[in-house]
Amino acid sequence: MIGEIIESRTAEFVAESVRYDQVPAYGSFVRVSDGGLRVYGIVSGAYTGSLDGMSKAKAFFKSIQELKMEQPQIFELLRTEFSCVVVGYAQDGRYHPYYPPIHLSLHLPVEKADDDEVLAISQHLGFLEKTLNSPAGNGEELTAAAIRTAARFHPDPREYIVRVGRELLKMLNYDTQRLKSILERVDIS
């Protein structure tokens, strides 16, 4: 488990990290099991702040090591939450690249998706549309991050990126300029 859902909508959910300094990577794939459904999401952003949400953390101008030695209690007052866009769900062993019928319940545990799950989900290029239209407004950045993550799981990453690129181009209404800006953020080497 890497987090617990604290806010849920059809298109996205927010989870609180188990530990304030352990957060899944931006653009990585996560899984939430809700009864018979396994809902998958892509991490679309994270936030770290004070536990109460009202007061702000204060700057000490010391290194993390020094702080941990001198003020260990301040770290206990921090919390991290991360948001995820929902990209699809699996039921009875079958993956559906669209929103689950019911949005996720609160307090469900969030887990990292397995490698082969990522491989299976990313075969369906439907996730691109979800990331591109991410409610956070950082669609291109998120899409690039998701492609980066997914490509690593494919035997021929370059071939996968070309395939994704072609699909993206159509979604972008053949705007090569936007495609270019996304692909430039997908450096595979």
Partner 1 sequence: MKGTILRGSLSGGLEVRLDIGENIEEVKVGTFCVVEGRSQDFFSMVVDEDIEAANPKAFYETLSDNPLLNEVVRGTGIIDKVKIQPMIAIRREDGKVQPVKSIPSYLSRVREAREEDVFKIFGRPDRTHFHVGAPLDMDHIPVCVDLEKFIERSNGIFGKSGTGKTFYTRIMLCGMIKSGLCNVLVFDMHSEYGWEGEDEDKTRKKAKGLKQLFGSRVAIFTLDPESSRNRGVHPDFVVEIPYRSIEAEDIVMVREELNLNPTALEVIYVLQKHLGQDWLITFLNMDALAIEEFAENTGSHAGALQALQRKLFRLQKLPFIKENPADDAVERIMQYLDSGMNVVLEFGHQRSMLAYMLVANILTRRIHELYVKRSEKALGGMQGNNTPLVIVIEEAHKFLSPELSHQTIFGMIAREMRKYNVTLLVVDQRPSGIDPEVLSQLGTKIVALLTEEKDIESVLCGVNNARMLRNVLASLDTKQQAIIMGHAVPMPVVIKTRTYDETFYKEITRDEDGAFRRPMPGLKRTSGTGSIASNPDGEEPPPGKEFEDLMKELYGL
Nearest-angstrom CA–CA distance, 162 and 94: 26
Dig out the tokens for 56 from the structure.
């702000």
Which residues lie below 8 Å from residue 146, measured CB to CB, with a gap of 6+?
27, 29, 42, 122, 127, 128, 131
Nearest-angstrom CA–CA distance, 96 and 38: 10
How many residues bind to partner 1 according to rule CB under 8 A? 17
- Binding track, positions 103-142, relative to partner 1; x by CB under 8 A: ----------------------------------------
Q: Give the range of 26-34, 66-74, 142-150, 158-166 binding partner 1 by CB under 8 A.
A: 158-166
Smallest distance from partner 1 to CB 134, Å: 22
Q: Give the range of 71-79, 85-93, 129-137, 165-173 binding partner 1 by CB under 8 A.
A: 165-173
Smallest distance from partner 1 to CB 182, Å: 10
Annotate 9-24 with b (16+ C-beta within 10 A) or e (fewer).
eeebbbbbbeebeebb
Smallest distance from partner 1 to CB 173, Å: 7
Residue 157 binds partner 1 (CB under 8 A): no
Smallest distance from partner 1 to CB 140, Å: 14
Type of residue found at 22: Q
Burial, 146: exposed, middle or buried (Cβ in 10 Å; 0-12, 13-18, 19+)? buried
Residue 52 binds partner 1 (CB under 8 A): no
Closest to partner 1 by CB, 25 vs 162, is: 162
Residue 183 binds partner 1 (CB under 8 A): yes
Residue 166 binds partner 1 (CB under 8 A): yes
Map tokens 């979800």 to a residue.
Answer: 130
Q: What is the DSSP letter of 53?
A: S
Q: State the sign of the Cα–Cα–Cα–Cα dihedral 80, 44, 186, 39.
A: positive
Residue 161 binds partner 1 (CB under 8 A): yes
Residue 156 binds partner 1 (CB under 8 A): no
Residues in contact with partner 1 by CB under 8 A are 158, 161-162, 165-166, 168-170, 173-177, 179-180, 183-184
